[in-house]
Amino acid sequence: MNPIDTWVDTDEIRRLAQRLVTPAKQTTTSTNESGFGESFVGFAENPSKTAPLCPPVSAPVSAPVSAPVSTPALELPSTHTPAFESLANWLHGNCAATAVFVINLDGQVLFDEGSAHLHFAARGMALNWKIRDRVKPVRLLVHAGQFLELVPAHHAQGRLILGIVVPQALQASTLSTIREKIALS
């Protein structure tokens, strides 16, 4: 008898192991999966090699192809939903927030001020690490003196995750106020 059969579920191990030797599903940049909405027209890199997604009815305004690209090409059109505008303004004024975004548990961006590069971290945590079930926020140090706070909260649209970049950790009382404001947004 195999000496480890009594210790582990061998079928389960084989299934888990097989998952590790098959190529991981790569993140695609389709508009739906990436959560950037239909207005997303693609990344700005290698413009000469990238076929347009659709007939050029509304090509993005961009610098000439020969001009150097000086910033990462992940800055996306902002997504402003009026319902979250006032919340964002409050966060800027009262918490010194430098960026605010809201995603749902599917990773769809509901509100954004141009923090696309942070969505990936938020999505990964929301989808894989069950912060949806958490009460306390998750805090990431994203830069010197800059924290990304991911705050799970209830809303009329269901459970949402509010992402805020702030210079210091938020107090429990502030978080409570924020959750109330999200619920009312």
Partner 1 sequence: MISIAVSSQKGGVGKTTVSINLAHAFALAGIRTLLIDADPQGSVGLSLTRQSRLLAGFYDYLADPSLTLDQLIVPTRLETFSLMASGQAGDYDTGGSMGAHLARVRTFLHQISRRGFDLCLIDTAAGLFGVSGDVIASSDAVIIPQQAEPLGIRSVPKLLDGLGKLRVMNPRLQVLGVLLTMVQEDLEDSTEAAKALRELLPNELVFQSQVPRDGIFIKASARGLPAGVMENGAPIRKIFDDIRSEITRKTASPALTSRHA
Residues that bind partner 1 in the complex, under the rule CB under 8 A: 2-5, 7-10, 12-14, 16-21, 24-27, 121, 124-125, 127-129, 138-144, 148
- Taking the complex as a whole, the smallest distance from the CB of residue 99 to partner 1 amounts, in Å, to 14
Min dist CB 73 to partner 1, Å, is 17
Nearest distance from residue 66's CB to partner 1, in Å?
A: 27
Query: What are the φ and ψ backbone dihedral angles of 14, each rounded to 5 degrees?
Result: -60, -40
What is the C-alpha to C-alpha distance for residues 36 and 112, in angstroms, rounded to an integer? 10
Q: What is the distance of C-alpha 147 from the center of its chain?
A: 15
Nearer to partner 1, 41 or 103 (CB): 103
**Based on CB atoms, which residue is closest to partner 1, 16 or 96?**
16
Nearer to partner 1 (CB atom), residue 3 or residue 82: 3
Closest separation between CB of residue 47 and partner 1, Å? 25
Lateral strand order in the sheet of 146-155:
109-112, 99-104, 158-166, 146-155, 138-143
Q: In terms of CB distance, is 8 or 184 closer to partner 1?
A: 8
Q: What angle do CA 96, 160, 88 make, to 5 degrees?
A: 25
Q: Report the alpha-carbon distance of residue 160 to residue 167 in Å, rounded.
A: 22
